[in-house]
Amino acid sequence: MSRRQIEDHLQELGDLYAETSGGGPWAWNQARGDFLRRLAADVRRPGFELLVAETTALTGCAYGFPVRGDGPWWEGFDGYLPGRLLRLAASGRLFVISGIHVPSRVRRQNQDRAWNLARRLQKRLLTDHGAAVGVTLVNRSDHRTVEALRSWGWRYIEGDTPRTAPLGPFRVLVLET
């Protein structure tokens, strides 16, 4: 989607996020607003792309942006990337997947199948940008999202095990193409 198309579909994207992020209706307005603010910031990044899946309504989306080796791309995170990923960033082959939002059944059913909607969206983002590796940050306490991502082929970054995980509020996960 172009930036203009995203602006035209903000209501639908916000609703999709609220419906797929968990929590009850009482939390939706806050979560929806936070999501739309993060999306508005990401849309301004060079190379930003948002893919949607739809039938008669929006059913899923994934979005992100390529990482370059020059300059910060996530404030306060730059020191966590191992040299291998920094080299990929310098060559333009590292892509941040900021979000994948799909219905809860996609998180639970057929997660390991190539035709799983989340798997198709993430693969398409990486393929469209010629990325060798996708990278994402997940709040350390968001076990549900980490579990879903791992079921879709993501793994912890090198050296990140329960005993050796880097300190900080986030877990770093990578997805090889």
pLDDT in tens, 11-33: 899 888 888 877 667 777 788 88
Confidence band of 7 (pLDDT split at 50, 70, 90): confident
CB 55 within 8 A of CB 72: no
- pTM as predicted: 0.84
- Phi and psi (nearest 5°) for 136? -145, 155
pLDDT exceeds 60 at position 162 = no
Looking at residue 161, its pLDDT comes to 57
Give the residue among 99, 103, 97 at the shortest CA–CA distance from 16.
103
DSSP letters, 59-126, are EEEEEEEEE-SSS-SSTTTGGGS-HHHHHHHHTT-EEEEEEEE--HHHHHSSTTSTT-HHHHHHHHHH
pLDDT (average), residues 106-125: 81
Q: 38 Cβ partners below 8 Å, 6+ apart? A: 98, 99
Give the residue among 34, 26, 164, 16 at the shortest CA–CA distance from 104.
16
pLDDT in tens, 71-94: 655 554 555 666 777 788 888 889
User: CA 4, 7, 11 angle in degrees (round to 5)?
Assistant: 150
134 membership: H or E segment, kind and range: strand 133-139
